[in-house]
Structure 1
Amino acid sequence: MAHQTNPPGYPLPVNPGSNQGTVAQGFVTPAQDQVPQVQNIPPRRILPIIFIPGIMGSNLRMSAARQRALGADNNIAWRPDNLGATAPQYNDSPAERQRRLDPAETEVDQYDPEGNPTGDPKETSDQRNDDVKYSVGYNGFGRLDGPLLQHDLPGTTNARTREQKARARGWGEVYFGSYSDILSLCECHLNGAFSGGTPSVYLKKHIIGVEPSAWQAHARPALKALDEKTLRETVKGCWFPVHAMGYNWLKGNSESGIAIAKRIDALIARYREQGFTCEKVILVSHSMGGLVARAVIHPEMGKLADKVLGIVHGVMPAIGAGAAYKRVRCGFEGSGIGPRILGNTGVNVTPVLGNAQGGLELLPSQAYGNHWLQVQQNGTMLKSLPLKGDPYEEIYKVRGKWFGLLREEWINPAGADGPGFDMSCALLDRAKSFHNAIVSTYHDQSYAHYGADPKRTAWRNVVWSMHKRAKPQNVDTLAIAADDAQGEMQLIDPAQAVPKNKAPLEFEVEMLEAADPGDQTVPVHSADAQLNSGKFKGIFRQSGYEHQASYSDDAVIASTIYSLVRIASTMTWPK
């Protein structure tokens, strides 16, 4: 918002929670006091910013029934900020992981101080969300009258702290340790853009007049530096409250998109009930959240294109990622919270992602192309798939092949009713339908940033390398003799004759490390589908950051704020 110097006089208090400056409370003063009492009327326009996190970026809680079945002290299913709850999950068995992260028994862990849905009578909703803070402020303003993250004034009925307001905006629904920078800085710099007619220090130094090439903008389409006049006109008379909306990433992205679309509708209605003019929102996504955002605007899913002004996509696997295949078969790489909780072996990961449509929707889609799953020996290609453009039928749903996605014995260690190879195949069919439905769905006002870093390699191709001494007759007919579930297998060839009293000859095969430019998770091959679509207003192909930590990178933050202003500048307000 653009802020001008206040006129002299006694500013009258404004209640941002109800009358929003339309009603002021005056005071009786002595007759000799000629200083005017000034009623400041805050802006009436609101353009909410909605942040949609990536897979594993939304906090989940278990149903009461599942909590009782597991004998858990609380209902936390997934909350990486809470080390006290997550540390014991590092050593969970595959069956325990499957039961805790069951799509049918989990939901987003939303903040609710009245209902207090923590599953622990000793823990309040505020205590569970204690990590959620907002301490950035608004570029030096002591206080602004508006729908902002500020402590309510003393004496306010049902007074709330700024932290409680942030939690009510959904900031506690998401992995705050990973997303706090982008949430806080967008809230700060969009709502405190000008003071006394002067732009904030950050915007003046890092945004205004800076060539987008400084943030590695692609030459196509060409982008211009943001001038102060455009910024001023864009933020003038408007609030930009930053919200976060989590989703159950174990379920399909279409279902998540529909759920978030309903929440956005309700949010717009709530702001209107408070007397604001609120017609549209802007979406900011991270990773798989980009697929959810595309579902939000899809005409047969969320159906909300008319209420979304634009979308900023961050590190989106636009057409899938080879890492999804790698992780189901070999576990998560790295030593962070996610790999340790979900597991660094295929035995631990398959019971979760193999039963989760959302996870399966990160697999390379048909648009990803052919020949990305490879078997090599001494650099010579022995086999590559898919050949006919359908990885679902040629890789993911094949049964009994050593290179298939699913090891059947890993899918349902909990012995639950339903899960199994057939159900996973049904989920894959739905994933295929979703991929095909959104393949060309992008908002007309879309911007994207993603990693194209040759030093941050990702799996564009997934390569199984066979030992140089192996001499298989037919790669297709090899069978698994041993599998460490981390990328090394011993295969045997049933077609080869074995002398009596001799063990079958085993062939060693291992998965090679990622070798393609990206961000260590999404290869640039997938992210570039956005560039190749020709539908984006701006593309930033960047380097220097890892996938999950992207929204803590300075260039990502700057390019995101730039993109948000560009989108907001297209808003046409009613007269």
Structure 2
Amino acid sequence: MQNERNSSDPEVVISRTRDIDGRPVFDTHLTPTEDTRTKVIETKLPAVIPIVFLPGIMGTNLKNKKTGNAVWRPPNMSLNLADILGVVAALATWGIRGPKQRQQILKAEDLTVDDGGSIDVGESGLAKETARKRGWGSVLRTSYNPVMGLLEARTSRIVANRTLQGWWSTEGLRPPGDYGEETGQPPLTEPELMKAARYDFDVWCAGYNWLQSNRKSAEDVRQYIENTVLRHYREQKPPVPADKVILVTHSMGGLVARALTNLVGYEKVLGVVHGVLPATGAPAIYHHMRAGYEGPEQLILGSNAGEVTAVVANSAGALELCPTFDHRDGQAWLFLQNEPGEVVMDTEGLPCAFPRAGNPYDEIYKNPAWYGLVPEPNTKFLNLSEDLSNYEYAKAASRSTFEELIDQVARFHRDLAGQYHPETYVHYGADGSRPMHSWQDIVWRGNPNAFPTSAFPASDDGNGSYRASNNAPALTAARGQGDGTVPAFSGEAPRDAGVVASFRHGSDGAGSENADRKGYDHQGSYNDPRARWATLYGIAKISQLADWHSSEK
């Protein structure tokens, strides 16, 4: 207090915090009589731009609709004891569940969002109760709460005492090109940030049922924004202006956002920031359905083709992550090669590179051949219900249901192709040196004499190889630029579709912040300062379109 009294500063700005409902409050206290400086409370007329975060696939906690019991809570990866015990429990639970149990438990129609997960408010300044009201407990904490806390903190400290603050006064004014921006966007200006600072930015989170179609999830998110987010401000006394939201997405959440604005036609979105969006799908989903997941994730997400197929082949949302008809402009991404790496020919003399005619739905996803997404022997995993009195009929029926689902996926892809909100900002990973490959291509490699044209006589081991003989076809890692899941071909597609800004991050990106720096892992992309910079830049730019503050009228 002594230092404060001796200061030559003529004013003391009272710090602002939040109450349990998230409203701004000011923490004041009595000062000694000799402290004659002016005490200033910087208030502003209330107006809010809600930021709504949409997580990626498997990032939302799910519970059973009827019982309310938690069904899907992926373990948080941190070193605190509770999280370590959570990882052990998850491994013990999912490690013993085979394809049938997984299919029975993870049915889209039986599940809904579970908002009871643990919360980390981080540097947000929010009470846990406030963060829970805003949906922060509905998602994987360690992946998403930190970036939500950072967005809350930084957007609440843009201006103080009529001066740009902290990060915004230095890093925030840097040229976007330093961070790999590809369309030539200009830096933020001080007037733009002053305008943005008129508004409060409240960070919400919209978890969704990632097993159902992304179109259905978009309808659910629309209801959440209307009936929870915007309703919150309408019911304040007096009501607080909050006309539209900014969406910030991770991975599959971007497909939900695009469906919301371009298919559902929801108009209360001011703009969108997409992170690591699989804009035209990701071949990695093929790998997982044929070989299971890799690394520690396999114990929970599935260690072989049966465990993954039993769930994913019945999930419209997951299948919508498959490469689209226009992925890489329709070029092939699935190859059958001989041991030296040359594409082999089929019996008609055509190269075994698929899709050949821009139709992966018939050529790969529905195809029961040994290299198809669900080869004939794996049909048994499509429906593992007890009623198998007529096994052949049951197989045919389950195959037909699966093909109808693929037709639905194809319609979704075609309806959404090239469609983005007019105010869209994206950032994606483009690193070719990461230890984890991005499955840019899917390659089956082996002895060409072992390649059949339709059926294959040997058993598939469910982990990406056949056991007929030595040098039988096996999946081979095809490294390429990306983030370990989404290849750069898919990440850069929005740029070519004409979005406002596109940030390419990693050793294959331009700008000083990419120089001599590798990219980021897909799931942890929002832990990278480049992704966070691009997100804050997009939020500040999009906020220029807001017009519901009283000073704008």
Q: What is the TM-score with the length of structure 2 in the denominator?
A: 0.81
- What percent of counterpart residues are identical? 32
Question: Contact conserved, 1:43 with 1:239, CA < 8 A, in 2?
Answer: no
The verdict on how the C-alpha distance between 1:11 and 1:286 changes in structure 2, with shifts beyond 3 A counting, is: closer
Among 422, 428, 431, the alignment partner of 2:400 is 422
SS of match in other structure, 1:520: coil
Among 71, 75, 78, the alignment partner of 2:70 is 75
Counterpart of 2:317 in structure 1 is: 358
Deviations 1:331-387 (A, max 9, x none): 11222xx43211121121111101111110000111111321110012211111111
Unaligned runs of 5+ in 2: 1-8, 27-36, 77-85, 345-351, 389-393, 507-518
Are 1:262 and 2:262 matched, yes or no?
no
- State how 1:167-246 maps to structure 2 within 5 Å: 167-208=132-173, 210-218=174-182, 221-236=183-198, 238-246=199-207
Aligned residues: 486
Question: Contact conserved, 1:10 with 1:36, CA < 8 A, in 2?
Answer: no
The verdict on how the C-alpha distance between 1:525 and 1:14 changes in structure 2, with shifts beyond 3 A counting, is: closer
**Take 1:14 and 1:78, find their aligned partners in 2: how far apart are those partners?**
29
Are 1:445 and 2:423 matched, yes or no?
yes
Counterpart of 1:537 in structure 2 is: 500
- State how 1:307-318 maps to structure 2 within 5 Å: 307-318=268-279
The verdict on how the C-alpha distance between 1:471 and 1:572 changes in structure 2, with shifts beyond 3 A counting, is: same
SS of match in other structure, 2:149: helix
**Take 1:315 and 1:390, find their aligned partners in 2: how far apart are those partners?**
25
Question: Contact conserved, 2:13 with 2:41, CA < 8 A, in 1?
Answer: no
Counterpart of 2:343 in structure 1 is: 381
**Take 1:13 and 1:344, find their aligned partners in 2: how far apart are those partners?**
47
The verdict on how the C-alpha distance between 1:12 and 1:173 changes in structure 2, with shifts beyond 3 A counting, is: closer
**Take 2:23 and 2:467, find their aligned partners in 1: how far apart are those partners?**
71
Question: Contact conserved, 2:465 with 2:472, CA < 8 A, in 1?
Answer: yes
SS of match in other structure, 1:310: strand
Report the alpha carbon displacement of residue 44 of structure 1 after superposing the two structures with TM: 1.4
Report the alpha carbon displacement of residue 9 of structure 1 after superposing the two structures with TM: 12
Counterpart of 1:344 in structure 2 is: 303
The verdict on how the C-alpha distance between 1:326 and 1:92 changes in structure 2, with shifts beyond 3 A counting, is: same
Report the alpha carbon displacement of residue 19 of structure 1 after superposing the two structures with TM: 9.9
Deviations 1:121-174 (A, max 9, x none): xxxxxxxx3x30213146xxxxxxxxxx2xxxxxxxxxxxx0011011011111
Counterpart of 1:476 in structure 2 is: 453
Counterpart of 1:164 in structure 2 is: 129
Counterpart of 1:86 in structure 2 is: 90
SS of match in other structure, 1:358: helix
- In structure 2, what residue type is equivalent to 1:435? H
Question: Contact conserved, 2:179 with 2:505, CA < 8 A, in 1?
Answer: yes
Question: Contact conserved, 1:408 with 1:421, CA < 8 A, in 2?
Answer: yes
Question: Contact conserved, 1:448 with 1:539, CA < 8 A, in 2?
Answer: yes
**Take 1:296 and 1:455, find their aligned partners in 2: how far apart are those partners?**
35
Counterpart of 1:295 in structure 2 is: 259
- In structure 1, what residue type is equivalent to 2:210? W
Report the alpha carbon displacement of residue 478 of structure 1 after superposing the two structures with TM: 4.3
**Take 1:408 and 1:97, find their aligned partners in 2: how far apart are those partners?**
16
Among 406, 412, 418, the alignment partner of 2:383 is 412
- In structure 2, what residue type is equivalent to 1:324? I
Runs of 4+ displaced beyond 4 Å: 5-21, 35-42, 416-419
- In structure 1, what residue type is equivalent to 2:164? P
Are 1:569 and 2:544 matched, yes or no?
yes
**Take 1:38 and 1:452, find their aligned partners in 2: how far apart are those partners?**
47
SS of match in other structure, 2:129: helix
Among 283, 296, 319, the alignment partner of 2:280 is 319
Report the alpha carbon displacement of residue 414 of structure 1 after superposing the two structures with TM: 4.6
Report the alpha carbon displacement of residue 533 of structure 1 after superposing the two structures with TM: 0.6
Question: Contact conserved, 2:52 with 2:205, CA < 8 A, in 1?
Answer: yes
**Take 2:232 and 2:354, find their aligned partners in 1: how far apart are those partners?**
50
Counterpart of 2:34 in structure 1 is: none
**Take 2:295 and 2:458, find their aligned partners in 1: how far apart are those partners?**
27
**Take 2:43 and 2:539, find their aligned partners in 1: how far apart are those partners?**
25
**Take 1:537 and 1:185, find their aligned partners in 2: how far apart are those partners?**
24
**Take 2:66 and 2:232, find their aligned partners in 1: how far apart are those partners?**
30
**Take 2:403 and 2:536, find their aligned partners in 1: how far apart are those partners?**
41
The verdict on how the C-alpha distance between 1:545 and 1:14 changes in structure 2, with shifts beyond 3 A counting, is: closer
Counterpart of 2:466 in structure 1 is: 489
SS of match in other structure, 1:388: coil
**Take 2:121 and 2:326, find their aligned partners in 1: how far apart are those partners?**
41
The verdict on how the C-alpha distance between 1:289 and 1:137 changes in structure 2, with shifts beyond 3 A counting, is: closer
SS of match in other structure, 1:332: coil
Counterpart of 1:97 in structure 2 is: 102
**Take 2:322 and 2:17, find their aligned partners in 1: how far apart are those partners?**
55
Question: Contact conserved, 1:281 with 1:307, CA < 8 A, in 2?
Answer: yes
**Take 1:191 and 1:436, find their aligned partners in 2: how far apart are those partners?**
40
Counterpart of 2:242 in structure 1 is: 278
The verdict on how the C-alpha distance between 1:441 and 1:9 changes in structure 2, with shifts beyond 3 A counting, is: closer
Unaligned runs of 5+ in 1: 25-34, 68-73, 112-128, 139-148, 150-161, 492-504
Q: What is the TM-score with the length of structure 1 in the denominator?
A: 0.78
Report the alpha carbon displacement of residue 460 of structure 1 after superposing the two structures with TM: 2.2
> How big is the alpha-carbon RMSD for the aligned residues of Structure 1 and Structure 2?
3.0
**Take 2:141 and 2:19, find their aligned partners in 1: how far apart are those partners?**
29
